[in-house]
Amino acid sequence: MNVLDIELPEHQRCDAVSSMVYEANARVRDPVYGCVGAISSLQQQVDVLQTQLALAQAEVVHMRVRQSNQQHQQVTHAGANSSSENLYQSSMLLSSQTKSLFAMDMVVDQANMGHSLWSC
């Protein structure tokens, strides 16, 4: 059966032709792997970028925790010399900052990290 003999809805024909042209050009550039080689290379790049993103997100969380701890220490030292009202306001500020720290979404698919969908 020839690929061109398959009946496709008219709105998908242009995409099918574009796909066949892309696959043919990829096969010319890489006779062994063709477009699968390109897909595999792109998947590896995605995996590396996801790892870099996870590391950057972890670094942001670490920096926020450190900043929160520093502010807490400043509040503690300032509280010894200030009125109870100032201490209460400072603790409320620290509490709101801590809540925003833990509200940050961090999505890391650790189960698939380092495993490509396209690897053989």
Residue 27 lies in a domain: yes
Domain of residue 72 covers 12-102
Separation of alpha carbons 34 and 28, rounded Å: 7
Percent of the chain with pLDDT over 70: 57
Q: How far is CA 31 from the centre of its chain?
A: 33
Q: Provide the pLDDT for residue 69.
A: 87
Question: Using one digit for the tens of pLDDT, what is the confidence trace for 56-113?
Answer: 999 999 999 999 888 878 776 665 555 556 656 656 665 555 554 444 444 444 455 4
Q: Provide the pLDDT for residue 74.
A: 78
Residue 92 lies in a domain: yes
Is the full-model pTM beyond 0.75? no
Distances (CA, A) of 115 to 44, 54, 56, 110, 120: 9, 15, 20, 10, 10
Q: Provide the pLDDT for residue 6.
A: 72
Total domains in the chain come to 1
